Every structure is written in structure tokens, then in C-alpha cells.
Chains A and B, each alone.
Chain A
Amino acid sequence: KAGVTQTPRYLIKTRGQQVTLSCSPISGHRSVSWYQQTPGQGLQFLFEYFSETQRNKGNFPGRFSGRQFSNSRSEMNVSTLELGDSALYLCASSLVAGTEYNEQFFGPGTRLTVL
């Protein structure tokens, strides 16, 4: 079974631009979560989608948004990029959402560099 895939793997943008990252979950998984990883702030939760609905959101500005499609694939968008948005963006999928032992499977991440 294929794992979580994220595209693109690397991305370079300039300040003020917008970017869209894509995540394809493991087949059959209906929940997708997004995390931002930076050296300074570590791993921070962005949001979670389940059955095309955002069910959980972290403490990020409105420039960060996401969506999920009927096939469970998810995209996240960052508008008006800032230098501080440079990070590794990780996507994780799981079978369902809202359970204690729900195991999340992570993709390799998209490395975003903002110049």
C-alpha cells in the first residue's frame, strides 16, 4: 500500500506570493492533518480535515488555509508569504478522526523556502 505522498517536495517562493501544497493520504484514510516544522517553533499543528470538513484548527493566522476533496486528498494554501513561513510542512493521514489511539502516518514533507 502506498504511503502518504506530498507534492512538491521542495519549493522556493518570494515574499508576498502564495503557495499551494498537496497531500495524498494512504488509500482508505479519510483524515488528513497538517503540521509546520521549524527549528525555532518545532512541530506545530495547523489543521485537520475529515470527510471534507475542517474539524480542528491550530493557532495560525488566516493566511493559512486548507481544504479536502471527496477523494480525501488535501491541499493547504499560504497567502502573502512571509520569511517566517519557511518551514517543512508535513501532512499526516489516518483512518478516522477523533479517537485517542488514532495512528497518524506522515508523508515526507514539503520544504518551503521563502526569499
Chain B
Amino acid sequence: DVKVTQSSRYLVKRTGEKVFLECVQDMDHENMFWYRQDPGLGLRLIYFSYDVKMKEKGDIPEGYSVSREKKERFSLILESASTNQTSMYLCASSLGLANTGELFFGEGSRLTVL
């Protein structure tokens, strides 16, 4: 079974703090994604990566950056957390081209910024 593990299920941070959200997948998937989930807005794509050290902006990249130094690990960074970044963050991975495109999700990291 594919496993996507997000290191922190719940975090509470203060405005202005730097926040790291870590995600690891164990199935050698090429693609990794960070989404945020907000009630009534569904899932919105922040960033994705299709290879080590490669990244592409999603729909809402402002205020976020990412790092992919190893194939299995994809980190989301909030350089200076703000209250409007309080949300559920979901990491996902998928195989590369020529597949059904199924995303495998982690359990989510709920971030509260005070």
C-alpha cells in the first residue's frame, strides 16, 4: 500500500513564525503536491513537484514556498505565518505520466496561526 506520511497532525504557531510542514511518501512516486482545504472552498493547489528540485506554482502559491531535495520528501514552508494561513494542509503523491492520475493523500496537518 502507498503510504503518504505528514509529520505533524496538529500545529499551533504565532503570527510571523516560520513553519515547516513535512511530507514523505514510500512508493517512489515522481509527483508530489501540497493542497490546502478550507470549508466551502474545497481543495486548492499550493505547489507541486514533478521531480527532485523541480517545482511549479499551483493556484494559491503566495506566502508559501516548497523544497524537494529527495524524491520521497516534499516540504511546505510558510516563511512568515499569518492568521489567514490557518487551514488544513494535505500532501499527496502520484505516479508519473501514463497512469490514471490517482492522487494518494496523507492524513493532513491542521495548522492554527494565532
* B is a partner of A: no
